[in-house]
Structure 1
Amino acid sequence: MMFVLSLANSTMFTTYAIYYVTKLGLNPLELVLVGTVLELTVLIFEGITGVVADTYSRRLSVIIGMFILGVAFTLEGSILWITEWSTLIPAFIWLLISQVMFGIGWTFVSGSDSAWMVDEVGEDQAGPIFMRTKQIALIGTLLGIGISVGLSIVAPNLPYIMGGFMHLALGVFLILFMKETKFVKQEHEANTSPLKAMGKTWLMGAKVVQSNPLLLILIVVTLFSGAASEGFDRLKETFLINEIGFPQGIAFSMAVWFGIIAAVSTIIGIFAVGWTEKRIDMSSKRMISRAMFFLTGARIAAIVTLALSPNFTWAIIAVLAIKVIGIIQSPIYNTWLNMNVESKTRATVLSMVSQSDALGQTAGGPLVGWLGNRVSIRASLLAAAALLSPILVVFGNIWRKRS
């Protein structure tokens, strides 16, 4: 599942900026607003879909999400064709509609997939599996980069069409082969309505978060992380296109350049994850907290370096560093989070954490985008780095308390 998801996402997102900037003509504020609509949708629906997963079935939630994502991405890739056929609805509005569908589909999958996996294999095996899965997913990412570049050269919207079809095919595959053997449905009174049953599950999840100081801290962490990531994730390609520029002496298209950047970061990431897996005890909360502290600090330094980069070489090194740090950080973060959540409310609590991230992106993203429009994209990147600073303090305190 994670291999195909990584393959599809890499196919779509390696060259998405070419589609957004050169074909749809989005400016920095519009780029961030696209992300804001996506995250606002996640904020609204994440709690509902997480409760569905904990109340009824994680498997069903994941499969529903795959089909919605497939339709959303296919629509996004079809915008150029739709607007050629009819100009009644502008392309930007179609893009926002696809983002709403993207957000709804994502909320069905988010939290449910990892909650399903941890229940099936047990918490003791989850950490190593997260690390191993990341390595396998990176191979899918590497393959997707080549597909993305090739399709983008033909037409910039084709990667989205292909990514949508991959999600639809994965949905069919999961119907046939995804098993759910360890999930225990929440017991409710015989005449309890579905809404009341889901409400009870949500309240149980809320009590878990309220009673666990680490989870409350995590909510704050993801709030700031979401605000910071929205600026960087949406603007780094535009920064390279409009403010740094690509070398004129090398006859590569933008699609090829973005493919090279993605491929190099993925290859480095494969080795980096393998190296990290051998040196970090994924069952040790202290080691994981220490790793999150150092990785967050490195991420801040890399974003500042990108914002202040004087030329293409500096910018590329910074982008590669940020991408590799994110690759390493993802499975470590997922392991730490699942260590602190009970099985019966795992999907609900993970959805609440995702809601916090969405709130951060919704509240902070437009401000970062506005800075990009009014001042410069460099200012937006520096603001993103500043928003990560409180997270460094939080992980530092957690590490010291576990020492």
Structure 2
Amino acid sequence: MAIYFIKEANLNDFQLVILGTIFEITIFLGEVPTGVIADVYSRKLSVTLSYLLAGVAFLITGLSTPFALLALGAVVWGISETFLSGAREAWIADELTAVTPEISADQAFISGNQYSLAGRFIGVWAAFGFSFISLRASILAGAVAFLILGVVYLLLATEKGFHRAPDHTHNFGDLVQTLKDGFNLIKTRAALVAVVLTTMFVGFSSEAMDRLWQKRFLDSFPLPTLFNNPEGIWALLQSGVMLGTIIVLAIVNRAKTELPPLKILQIILGLVISIAAGMIVFGWAEIFPVVICAFFAVRIARRALDPLIKAWLNRRAESNVRATVLSFAGQAHSFGEILSGPVLGSISQVAGFRWAMLASSALLLPNIPILAHRIKVVKANPDEKSD
């Protein structure tokens, strides 16, 4: 969508990042309340609302280019993300327990992410097809797809594994109590704290890369076309990320069993290091193939990180607060992006993109010793389950 903002709305570096910051502020404010709603009322309802609101957000964005209306679209999209984050993963984990207990949540999240990436791969090329009409047509096609998905999910999805607590009266007190239970669970378990901090540091470092990578290519290199369409390069890059992530997750999940805690942490640490190093190369390299490789390293590592973090959190959160715990992690990520986004956008606008990438990498570095310490603890206590 960033290329639409650049070419159709003519946004500069700072405006692109601020638009992302508005999106993340919305997520930060709504993440935990919507996660609590999913834990107290219905996870299926929460996911359905997410898809429908995403369709509305894409409609607003595709039908307008003034910055104020694009900001409104970002707010609605952020709200839709809060209804999805945590609720979908908690719904999956509970449905597996109720319907197919022989499948581990780890396996389901990693395999599910691979199917999601395959869907994104198809979506990227569908959007490229619509771009022959206009970039706006691609956005509006996405809006229609989200609205259809919301209706299909409402009609066909089951919710056999979710059971409301018998003493829940569906009032505000239930929401507050679930919020407290989720926070207390994270606070008392170092295994959860380490991974929630990981999401926050990734958030600190990600905003400039997320919002400005396409502008980096446009400003630095003459880009090839595909079928005489200048938007083809974005389809090639995005689909390459999808395929690369599918391969990485297939390697991680090749045993088709629940991953040992030590292995999950080691993979997470390796991905974090790849992101930090890749951003420096992406920002500073001047050779096009090297920049392409760095881009793939960062984007693939970021996408592969997500299902591993969710698997770790799901394994250590009880069902009654699972969506809330996952939402806390999402909120930590948004908090990081909110704090760093305007700063990184200003650095890119004033000093240049490469300095923003260097700063982004530096913001991720404190996470490395945190994960290394956690790995040391797990090695010393290989049978730990919940500390």
After superposition, what is the alpha-carbon deviation per residue over 1:203-243, rounded to whole angstroms, capped at 9, x for unaligned? 1111111211222233332222112111211111111111x
| Letter aligned with residue 209 of structure 1 | I
1:346 aligns with 2:331: no
Report the secondary structure of 1:165's partner residue: helix
CA distance in 1, matches of 2:59, 2:95: 32
Correspondence list, 1:160-179, <5 A: 160-179=139-158
1:104 aligns with 2:89: no
Report the secondary structure of 1:270's partner residue: helix
After superposition, what is the alpha-carbon deviation per residue over 1:237-274, rounded to whole angstroms, capped at 9, x for unaligned? 111111x2234799854311111111222223322222
CA distance in 2, matches of 1:120, 1:139: 22
Report the secondary structure of 1:278's partner residue: coil
**Does structure 1 retain, via aligned residues, the 8 Å contact 2:104–2:258?**
no
Give the structure 2 partner of residue 65 of structure 1: 50
% of aligned pairs identical?
Answer: 27
CA distance in 1, matches of 2:211, 2:266: 28
**Does structure 2 retain, via aligned residues, the 8 Å contact 1:186–1:201?**
no
After superposition, what is the alpha-carbon deviation per residue over 1:120-170, rounded to whole angstroms, capped at 9, x for unaligned? 113861111112112212221221121111212321112211111111101
Aligned residues: CA RMSD: 1.9
CA distance in 1, matches of 2:131, 2:95: 39
CA distance in 2, matches of 1:379, 1:280: 42
| CA separation of 1:315 and 1:132: change in aligned 2, threshold 3 A | same
After superposition, what is the alpha-carbon deviation per residue over 1:29-50, rounded to whole angstroms, capped at 9, x for unaligned? 1001001001101111111111
Give the structure 1 partner of residue 237 of structure 2: 261
Task: Kindly state the Cα deviation for residue 280 of structure 1 after the two structures are TM-superposed.
Answer: 8.5
| CA separation of 1:249 and 1:70: change in aligned 2, threshold 3 A | closer
CA distance in 1, matches of 2:258, 2:273: 20
Report the secondary structure of 2:231's partner residue: helix
Give the structure 2 partner of residue 310 of structure 1: 286
CA distance in 2, matches of 1:254, 1:393: 43
| Letter aligned with residue 346 of structure 2 | W
Selected match of 1:183 from 162, 181, 194: 162
| CA separation of 1:250 and 1:71: change in aligned 2, threshold 3 A | closer
CA distance in 2, matches of 1:205, 1:250: 49
After superposition, what is the alpha-carbon deviation per residue over 1:337-377, rounded to whole angstroms, capped at 9, x for unaligned? 21121111001111111111111111111111010111001
Report the secondary structure of 1:215's partner residue: helix
Give the structure 1 partner of residue 124 of structure 2: 145
| Letter aligned with residue 33 of structure 2 | I
**Does structure 2 retain, via aligned residues, the 8 Å contact 1:37–1:100?**
yes
| Letter aligned with residue 104 of structure 1 | I
Report the secondary structure of 2:67's partner residue: helix
**Does structure 2 retain, via aligned residues, the 8 Å contact 1:79–1:94?**
yes
| Letter aligned with residue 337 of structure 2 | Q
Selected match of 1:53 from 38, 62, 66: 38
CA distance in 1, matches of 2:120, 2:46: 24
**Does structure 2 retain, via aligned residues, the 8 Å contact 1:231–1:380?**
yes
CA distance in 2, matches of 1:152, 1:168: 20
CA distance in 1, matches of 2:256, 2:277: 22
Correspondence list, 1:6-21, <5 A: 16-21=1-6
| Letter aligned with residue 214 of structure 1 | A
After superposition, what is the alpha-carbon deviation per residue over 1:94-138, rounded to whole angstroms, capped at 9, x for unaligned? 000011111111111110000000011138611111121122122
Gaps of 5+ in 2: 380-387
1:227 aligns with 2:227: no
Give the structure 1 partner of residue 59 of structure 2: 74
1:357 aligns with 2:333: yes
| Letter aligned with residue 58 of structure 2 | F
**Does structure 2 retain, via aligned residues, the 8 Å contact 1:119–1:343?**
yes
**Does structure 2 retain, via aligned residues, the 8 Å contact 1:247–1:312?**
no
Selected match of 1:135 from 107, 110, 114: 114
Selected match of 2:189 from 212, 220, 236: 212
CA distance in 2, matches of 1:47, 1:18: 31
Selected match of 2:172 from 195, 207, 216: 195
Give the structure 1 partner of residue 302 of structure 2: 326
| CA separation of 1:180 and 1:249: change in aligned 2, threshold 3 A | closer
Task: Kindly state the Cα deviation for residue 69 of structure 1 after the two structures are TM-superposed.
Answer: 1.1
CA distance in 2, matches of 1:38, 1:133: 25
Give the structure 2 partner of residue 396 of structure 1: 372
Give the structure 2 partner of residue 13 of structure 1: none
Deviates more, 1:36-45 or 1:128-137: 128-137
What TM-score, normalized to structure 2? Answer: 0.92
